[in-house]
Structure 1
Amino acid sequence: MCIRARGSGRAPSRGMNDLVDFLRVDANEASKRVALDYALGLTASRDGRRIFVVRPTLIDALLELTRDRALATDAFAALINLAAEDETRAIMSTCDCAERLVDSLTTSNDSAFDACRCSSNFTRSEDGAREFVRLFREGRKFHDVVDEFCDDRRSSRESSTTDYFVWILANVTQIDEGRRLVLDKTRKILQRLLPFIDFSRSSHSRRRGVVSMIRNCCFETEYHDWLLGYHVDLLPHLLLPLAGPEEFDEEDMKALPDDLQYLGEDKTREPEADIRKMLLESIMQLCSTKKGRLFVKEKNTYVIIRELHRQEEDASVSRTCESLINLLISDEPEKGMDDLRKVTIPKDVEETFAQEQSISINT
């Protein structure tokens, strides 16, 4: 995500040192505005962004200007552009950027919206995600971020802000520390976010962010018992958006989780193919261990996925359905191969599987 800028991006006649001076919080207001317009113009091009790599003091100056309510929007716009590229994002990590962003996440003015957009870019890298997790673990703003996202009373402007909140959580779950933060059994973060899988109450961006976060968390096999158990009861939440109005015989119906029984003829499936695929991938991760597979099979997941596959028009989702169906109808592997994530796969098979099943964690 980059923002087009008003500035020209040409080199200033008096050099970069003067630009830093003009961007100081205590500089003349008119000069500060001109300098900020110019800096924003620089961030709109790759060559311009490289200047910030060798002069991180410019980033420090932009961070300071986010405190100025009159200039904060443009200062954040420049930072959003810088955070969109790996090289400049790495330099931002050395400038206490994470601390400033976390402090701005839940402010009562428009800075929260801009801080969220910048944070969703900044946390796309492992270093950025790790910085946020460290600050969240220290208790700074974490519950406020979740509270903001879960608050149904937001206006349309605030709703767009909360759409970005979940991408911060989705991005930090790229790393083990972030997944364990969200899966902390005492915080009940995941349970609070599960209702937002429902497409009748969430935007595409929100649903995609929540499902992406859940899929990432499903890589933590040691939490599978908890995720599938009554504390979270994750499987029905994953299956419900994939279920349609189909009727099953009494035996199949009774074998389904309670929330999947007798859905009615007006039941519709998740309309977005990318989200359907991520839901399927989440279930596949839960099937990576024998105990998880047996649980998923016992809940008659097969009949839901079978009907989805019959109706599916997207080729990528259809292939993922087939992979999951193969897991559900196959005999259990021999002893010692119960955990599919620990099975040694031939190199050529692994490469083919990676090409077909690769998933993008970032936004």
Structure 2
Amino acid sequence: MPSQLEELVSFLHSPQPAVRQIALDNLVGFSTGSNATVFRYDNYRAISDLKGLARENSKLLVQQSVTILANLCDDLTMRKMIASDEGFLKYLTCKICDLRNTSADIMCILLTNLAKEDCITKVFSFTTMDSKDVTLDKNVFKSERIVDCLMDCFVKGSDRTLNKFANFDYLAYFFADISRFRLGREYFIQKQKYDGVIPISKLLVFTEKYDSKTRREGVASTIKNSLFDSEKHEELLSNEEINLLPYILLPIASAKDSEIDDEDMFNLPEELQLLPEDKQRDPIPEIICVHLESILLLCTTKKGREYLRSKSVYPLVRELEKNVENNDISELCDRIVNMLMRGEIGTDQIEEMPTRNAEDEKSRLSDDEDSEDDNAIVEVA
């Protein structure tokens, strides 16, 4: 005999809307932790039911069903079942870009959780024509590629300027996840045909958006992941259309870094030379660590180290270590100093990638490379 909870789960495919709503009202609280196993009842039929309910017109019904799906992503089997449904993935990504969608933000969380699966790279082939149920505003979205539309939502839609119901912050974590794959990294550093802009350059400004930890953290990880292909470093550092380095250094810098002498100050990127008196470092040590890991990745080639030396990165890192009491930050600062201040060996050979989640550069990063932070599932209360 099914338990009372299992009976509730079976009500999700009731033909009566009121019964389905009652089931959702009672099941949202059981979608996290050990209770989530109830959704395995009847050979995981609830997953199909919830995906169907996520396409309904009722705001409450959609938000509750998507919330449950997002929470169930903590279960590997259920996450794979959701992510492997290409039709649902196409609908989800397209619906996020529907500027009338009142559930766009919770859908961004679901998409972020699904991005832990390798099959997420399918989104690079999705177009706005793939979901017949959703029509996008062509005055806003100039590209037919869904990944471009998602980028536009994130960049143009912060502070609810595109969709009054959404700020799209959690797309930052989605971008971080897809940048784990070579296909994703290539997307972020290549100029796109529809607007002639390199995507990563659109994200950099958010490294100092101090009212949104989610944006800063996701963008910092996207930058770091985009640096795992060391053959791209010279282009990323020298291309003025990207202007990468200042946006890695600004979050770790403070106006109180007073012991940088005039010569070193003059060599810093212009954006760091005359900091306002109220300029503070990123308040989250873990985010500072991500930026320091990006600097370490840029230290893996001789040209990269030479460039960082020429831009006074060492004195800036020295000030950071001196003024911030955090063991992880200190350890990373020491490793950067060792890389930048040692003598060179005369060739431009690739060094071992000195980050916490990097493999040996000689074997290159595999496309399924990830970190503990990348694997974190966002649960919705």
TM-score by length of 2: 0.78
Show the counterpart of 2:175: 169
Match of 1:194 among 193, 201, 204: 204
2:55 is the counterpart of 1:67: yes
Asked if 2 retains the 8 angstrom alpha-carbon contact of 1:241 and 1:270, the reply is yes
Q: Could you list the runs of 5+ residues in structure 1 that have no partner in the other structure? A: 1-7, 344-348, 351-357
Deviation sequence 1:277-300 (CA, Å, 0-9, x none): 111100111111111111111111
* One of 223, 229, 240 as aligned partner of 1:220: 229
**Structure-1 residue corresponding to 2:191:** 185
* Higher relative contact order, chain-length normalized (CA < 8 Å, sep 6+): 2
Pick which of 287-296 and 180-189 moved more.
180-189
Give, in whole Å, the separation in 2 of the partners of 1:252 and 1:233: 19
Equivalent pair of 1:9/1:48 in contact (CA under 8 Å): no
Identity, % of aligned pairs?
28
Contact 1:102 1:140 in 2 (8 A): no
Aligned to 2:365: none
Aligned pair 1:12/2:10, yes or no?
no
Cα-to-partner distance string for 1:149-204 (whole Å, 9 max, x where unaligned): 2225527995864211111111111211111122222342111110011144x411
For 1:126, the aligned partner's letter is D
Report matched runs for 1:232-243 at 5 Å: 232-243=242-253
Aligned equivalents of 1:339, 1:53: Cα separation in 2: 52
Cα 1:100–1:53 shift into 2, 3 Å: farther
2 CA distance for matches of 1:306 and 1:209? 26
Change over 3 Å in CA distance of 1:12–1:206 after alignment to 2: same
- Are 2:122 and 1:131 aligned? yes
Matches within 5 A, 1:10-89: 10-12=5-7, 19=11, 21-22=13-14, 27-37=15-25, 40=28, 43-46=31-34, 48-49=36-37, 51-52=39-40, 55-70=43-58, 71-89=61-79
What does the per-residue CA deviation read over 1:68-110, in whole Å, with 9 as the maximum and x for residues that have no partner? 2321111112211222322210121333332232122122222
The 1:263/1:32 distance shift into structure 2, 3 A limit, reads: closer
Q: Report the number of matched residues.
A: 334
Q: Find the counterpart in structure 2 of residue 99 from structure 1.
A: 90
1:282 matched residue in structure 2: 294
1:331 is displaced (CA, Å) by: 1.0
1:319 paired residue among 310, 316, 331: 331
Supply the AA of the counterpart residue of 2:48.
D
Poorly superposed stretches of 4+, deviation over 6 Å: none
- Which segment drifts farther, 87-96 or 138-147? 138-147
Work out which of the residue numbers 123, 143, 148 in structure 2 matches 1:143: 148
140 and 46 in structure 1: CA distance in 2 versus 1, 3 angstrom threshold: farther
Query: In structure 2, do the counterparts of structure 1 residues 67 and 316 end up closer, same or farther at CA, with 3 Å as the change threshold?
Result: same
List alignment gaps of at least 5 residues for structure 2: 131-143, 355-359, 362-370, 377-381
Post-superposition shift, 1:46?
A: 3.9
The worse-fitting range, judged by mean Cα deviation, of 101-110 and 71-80 is 101-110
